[in-house]
Chains A and B, each alone.
Chain A
């Protein structure tokens, strides 16, 4: 199966440095002349976008012109958007600005966050003793599928706010009398991982969301529109806890779980998953994981500094306040929260499907590895000496290209 991934290289900006190679958690990048992304390995965490000094990496998203394909256009702004603008920008106007951008309606994703919180609470109540990993960050889900396949069973089987909001939007469009193909539902995303979650969902065949626009692409326009009188404010419909989902810790707060840990940043997530795998994390009920430092406000497709955005989101959430009411869950059909397909492992690192071949490759790799310095400097364009040796054996690189080996042979 062909894997979709959103992260792309803008070749003209890449100067061939190897910073991105070193930060990729799945060793999915090699630099030859320019960086190349191994599509089958990319989990769209966006680390390479963040680290690139030349902004050569980007998340492939849709554009406002794609709205033209639909009669009734609905925007689903991720709550992270509320952290992007300062005090002078009224949050109600942020929601309202989407009408100025050409949308016919806005469904506040924070409201879906509220519903999802209630659904998670319900699952936690009925399954005592099982530690659950949150399944809201699509990059975390893909990391689990790729490197921790046996932990898939710990991912909480509750649909993400993105899909729940998508279904709410579809209902809205249908209620207004439009056919489903006339309704265009666009997620306003802080990251490329959500683009991938829409193009190739993990727990369903097809997403209800039709397209994804990035916060960074719309930022300027939103800022402009919020300053005009033409932009009419729209009510924030969710409780504070729903908006709080935009920052790491907000989900745990909303599901009011006290035995929880909150992990943000893909490197730390990787570490904690390893600890769960070897059975070290036993006294925790819920593990909230986000690929980005700070949570969604730290996404690679936002504008504001994540720490500033985090405080803004917290303040907004606190100023709205309110408690979650379980009765509210009755407003949404229960099947909206169900995974429609089972999550499958995705063994992206495997040498060969035949174990004898795989072992023989492993030995050949080891032979080459014994001749390399083991500095894992990345100068050859591969993240580690081992990865370079693997590329040679698998034929994706023609020769061993080690600066230290060359230096040695000149002596």
Chain B
């Protein structure tokens, strides 16, 4: 849709996410939310995007080997992109189901990994794409129309 030709009408915020670093988990999504507020996104959209970016970031912290969370603003939509370098999701459709989780017992004991991350993102996004290759990594793109 919006391509690089309209780059002046695009704003990108990026944060690196480290695997298992719970002390910094949420910093990327905080940065995204702040930017959204500065640009002036309304309350309801603000909250939906905050949830998407937080859940996506937590997924990277808990399940991935690390990656990057970014947010792209266009005049008509916002894209949250979470990209990691592995391990990849074996069955994406299954991962989208409420309650399905691959989180280890350790993670669950910490109160995470109840298996509501992806379905929660799906509920808040207008459009969700998840592409994953085992051993390579996962890219999640959640779109919210303004």
> Known contacts being A362-B73, A366-B11, is A347 close to B40, with CB within 8 Å?
yes
Interface pair A359/B37, CB less than 8 Å apart: no
In the complex formed, the residue of A with least CB distance to B48 is A150
Contacts of A360 in B (CB 8 A): 8-9
Q: State A390–B30 Cα separation when bound (angstroms).
A: 18
Tell me what chain B mostly uses at the interface: helix, strand, loop, or mixed. Answer: helix
Distance in Å: Cβ of B83 to nearest Cβ of chain A:
20
Does A353 reach chain B (CB closer than 8 Å)?
yes
Does B44 reach chain A (CB closer than 8 Å)?
yes
Interface pair B43/A274, CB less than 8 Å apart: no
Interface pair B40/A351, CB less than 8 Å apart: yes
User: What's the tally of chain A residues with a CB closer than 8 Å to chain B?
Assistant: 24
Given A274, A351, A355, A363, which contacts B30 in the complex, CB threshold below 8 Å? A274
Contacts of A345 in B (CB 8 A): 42-43
Chain A contacts with B in 239-281, Cβ cutoff 8 A: 274, 277-279
User: What's the tally of chain B residues with a CB closer than 8 Å to chain A?
Assistant: 26
Does A356 reach chain B (CB closer than 8 Å)?
yes
Distance in Å: Cβ of A68 to nearest Cβ of chain B:
45
Does A128 reach chain B (CB closer than 8 Å)?
no
Over the window 122-145 of chain B, the binary record of Cβ atoms lying under 8 Å from chain A Cβ atoms (1 yes, 0 no) is 000000000000000000000000
Distance in Å: Cβ of B78 to nearest Cβ of chain A:
11
Interface pair B39/A359, CB less than 8 Å apart: yes
Does A358 reach chain B (CB closer than 8 Å)?
yes
Over the window 103-131 of chain B, the binary record of Cβ atoms lying under 8 Å from chain A Cβ atoms (1 yes, 0 no) is 00000000000000000100000000000
Does A352 reach chain B (CB closer than 8 Å)?
yes
Given A277, A349, A355, which contacts B50 in the complex, CB threshold below 8 Å? A277
Q: State A219–B3 Cα separation when bound (angstroms).
A: 65
Does A350 reach chain B (CB closer than 8 Å)?
yes
In the complex formed, the residue of B with least CB distance to A362 is B11
Interface pair B38/A350, CB less than 8 Å apart: yes
Over the window 33-77 of chain B, the binary record of Cβ atoms lying under 8 Å from chain A Cβ atoms (1 yes, 0 no) is 011011110111011001100110000000000000000010100
Contacts of A355 in B (CB 8 A): 39-40, 75, 146
Interface pair B8/A279, CB less than 8 Å apart: no
Distance in Å: Cβ of A288 to nearest Cβ of chain B:
22
A-B pairs with CB below 8 Å: how many? Answer: 65
Over the window 4-24 of chain B, the binary record of Cβ atoms lying under 8 Å from chain A Cβ atoms (1 yes, 0 no) is 000011110000000000000
Contacts of B44 in A (CB 8 A): 150
In the complex formed, the residue of B with least CB distance to A360 is B8
> Known contacts being A277-B50, A278-B51, is A353 close to B40, with CB within 8 Å?
yes
Interface pair A356/B9, CB less than 8 Å apart: yes
Interface pair A359/B30, CB less than 8 Å apart: no
Contacts of A359 in B (CB 8 A): 8-11, 39, 73, 75
Q: State A352–B54 Cα separation when bound (angstroms).
A: 26
Contacts of B26 in A (CB 8 A): 274
Q: State A358–B77 Cα separation when bound (angstroms).
A: 14
Distance in Å: Cβ of A142 to nearest Cβ of chain B:
15
Does A149 reach chain B (CB closer than 8 Å)?
yes
Chain A contacts with B in 325-379, Cβ cutoff 8 A: 345, 347, 349-353, 355-356, 358-360, 362-363, 366
Interface pair B75/A278, CB less than 8 Å apart: no
Could you list some 17 contacts between A and B, CB below 8 A? A149-B42, A277-B47, A347-B37, A347-B40, A350-B38, A350-B39, A351-B39, A352-B40, A353-B40, A355-B40, A356-B9, A359-B10, A359-B11, A360-B8, A362-B73, A363-B8, A390-B38
- A residues lining the B interface (CB < 8 Å): 147, 149-150, 152, 274, 277-279, 345, 347, 349-353, 355-356, 358-360, 362-363, 366, 390
Task: Identify 12 new A-B residue pairs, CB closer than 8 A, beyond the known A274-B30, A278-B54, A349-B38.
Answer: A277-B47, A277-B50, A278-B51, A345-B43, A347-B40, A349-B37, A350-B37, A355-B75, A360-B9, A363-B8, A363-B10, A366-B11
Closest 8 interchain pairs by CB?
A149-B43, A350-B40, A150-B47, A150-B43, A278-B54, A362-B11, A358-B39, A359-B11
